[in-house]
Amino acid sequence: MKTQAPIRKHLLILLSIPTLHYAQTSQLAKQPIPIDGYAAKVNETIITRSDVRSAMASILPQLYRRFQGAALEQQLEQAYLNAREQLIDQALIVADFESSGGQIPDYYVKNEIDRIIRDRFNGETSQFEETLAAEQITYDDYLEKTRRNISASMLIQEKVNQRARISPETIRITYESKRYDYLIPEKIRHSIILLHCGSTPEERTLKTETAEQVLQKIEAGEDFNTLAQEFSEGARADQGGAFPWLQLKDIDPSLHFHLNQLKTGQHSSIVTNEDRLLILKVDARRNASYQPFSEVREAIKENLTTLERERLYKNWMKRLKEEHYIRRYD
Mean local confidence (pLDDT), 251-280: 94
Rounded CA-CA distance 297/164 in Å is 16
Mean local confidence (pLDDT), 270-289: 93
pLDDT at 111 over 80: yes
Residue 25 — very low, low, confident or very high, per pLDDT cuts 50/70/90?
Answer: very low
What pLDDT, on the 0 to 100 scale, is given for residue 23?
A: 36
Q: What's the chain's length in residues?
A: 330
> pTM to 2 decimals?
0.65
Helical H segments across the chain, by residue range: 7-16, 49-56, 60-66, 69-99, 106-120, 125-134, 139-159, 168-177, 201-219, 224-231, 256-260, 293-323
The mean pLDDT value of the chain amounts to 87
Task: Yes or no: say if 268 and 279 are a contact pair by the CB < 8 Å rule.
Answer: yes
**Among 98-112, 220-234, 238-252, 253-267, where is mean pLDDT lowest?**
98-112
Residue 62 — very low, low, confident or very high, per pLDDT cuts 50/70/90?
Answer: very high
Rounded CA-CA distance 128/5 in Å is 32
What pLDDT, on the 0 to 100 scale, is given for residue 278?
A: 96
Q: Closest Cα to residue 92, out of 37, 47, 34, 50?
A: 47
What pLDDT, on the 0 to 100 scale, is given for residue 17?
A: 39
Can you list the pairs that 246-252 forms with residues at least 24 positions away whose Cβ atoms lie under 8 Å? 246/187, 246/188, 246/189, 246/190, 247/185, 247/186, 247/187, 248/185, 248/186, 248/188, 249/185, 251/188, 251/190
What pLDDT, on the 0 to 100 scale, is given for residue 93?
A: 93
What pLDDT, on the 0 to 100 scale, is given for residue 198?
A: 84
Mean local confidence (pLDDT), 212-236: 95
**Among 33-37, 63-67, 253-257, 284-288, where is mean pLDDT lowest?**
33-37
Domains recognised in the chain with CATH numbers: 7-168+298-328 (1.10.4030.10), 186-287 (3.10.50.40)
- CA distances to 170, 185, 288 from 293, in Å: 13, 17, 16
Residue 105, Cβ density class (10 Å: 0-12 exposed, 13-18 middle, ≥19 buried): exposed
Mean local confidence (pLDDT), 21-26: 38
pLDDT at 12 over 50: no
Residue 325 — very low, low, confident or very high, per pLDDT cuts 50/70/90?
Answer: very high
Residue 35 — very low, low, confident or very high, per pLDDT cuts 50/70/90?
Answer: low
Residue 228, Cβ density class (10 Å: 0-12 exposed, 13-18 middle, ≥19 buried): buried
pLDDT at 10 over 70: no
pLDDT tens digit sequence for 128-158: 999 889 878 899 888 988 988 898 899 999 9
DSSP for 155-200, written as a single string: HHHHHTGGG----HHHHHHHHHHTGGGGEE--EEEEEEEEEE--SS
Residue 95 — very low, low, confident or very high, per pLDDT cuts 50/70/90?
Answer: very high
Task: Yes or no: say if 42 and 31 are a contact pair by the CB < 8 Å rule.
Answer: no
pLDDT at 88 over 80: yes
pLDDT tens digit sequence for 172-221: 999 999 999 999 999 999 999 999 998 899 999 999 999 999 999 999 99
What pLDDT, on the 0 to 100 scale, is given for residue 24?
A: 36
Task: Specify the amino acid at residue 329.
Answer: Y
Mean local confidence (pLDDT), 239-264: 94
pLDDT at 318 over 50: yes
